[in-house]
Amino acid sequence: AGSGTMGDIPPSQTIYINNLNEKIKKDELKKSLQAVFSQFGKILDVVAAKTYKMRGQAWVVFADVASATSAMRTMNGFPFYDKPMRLAYAVTKSDAVAKLDGSFTPRDASVRQKRKADSQREERESQAARAEEEEERGPPPVTIRTDPTAPPNEILFVQGLPEATTAQMLSMLFQQFPGFKEVRMVEAKPGIAFVEFDSETQASVALSGLQGFRINPTHSMTLSYAKK
């Protein structure tokens, strides 16, 4: 076997991540990884382990190699829960998953890979059909009234968030932009938040960078300046 450096491994649609914060619960870790990496392309799967030996590691499986390559370039060393992420291309997807569930044997990996690919294809097709149906129905009416005429300022008003969104997940998205200060969720109204920056200029860069960003297949964010 080679020396295990990144150069030995050809680009793949699966990214292996380590040096993750081990204190984060598995479900929250998976949701946060999905939120941070979905900006690079369609994600088929996020795998995180809860066994002691595999803590601090995860795999993100993209629909294509180009998305994975873009994520590799941008996110290596990204501060995620206060620890810089280390990224590499995974050797193969099925090995990663099989090692997690303890059923890995080199001989039948290709069979399992084909079976997994078939089930993923069916899942993708049904997801695409659902998404088309939802697009035809149009977005649900938004009851929160925003003021599009609010003058530019350093606080952004964010709408269209999934109910499971946490301040931590939003912080990870917005801290990519300079001048980020804090996220304030509105507990009484799930799906909205305020994000504060040091200056109006920095807020406007984040507004244009994340306008319409899809946190998951059914929710895209709407950003505007907060009404003071």
Residues 6+ apart with CB under 8 A from 18: 56, 57, 58, 85, 86
pLDDT one-digit tens code per residue, 165-186: 888 889 888 988 889 999 999 8
pLDDT, position 216:
75
8 pLDDT tier (thresholds 50, 70, 90): low
Find the DSSP H helices in the chain: 26-37, 65-75, 93-101, 109-137, 167-174, 200-210
pLDDT, position 107:
47
Mean pLDDT on 193-220 = 88
164 pLDDT tier (thresholds 50, 70, 90): confident
pLDDT, position 3:
43
Amino acid identity, position 170: L
Q: What are phi and psi of 18, to 5 degrees?
A: -135, -175
Q: Is 213 helix (H, G, I), strand (E, B) or coil?
A: coil
pLDDT one-digit tens code per residue, 52-101: 677 889 999 998 889 999 999 888 888 888 888 999 998 765 555 555 55
Mean pLDDT on 125-138 = 62
pLDDT, position 82:
81
Instruction: Give CA–CA dist 153/1, Å, rounded.
Output: 56
Instruction: Give CA–CA dist 74/90, Å, rounded.
Output: 17
Q: Is 106 helix (H, G, I), strand (E, B) or coil?
A: helix
Q: Is 80 helix (H, G, I), strand (E, B) or coil?
A: strand
Kindly report the average pLDDT of the chain as a whole number. Answer: 79
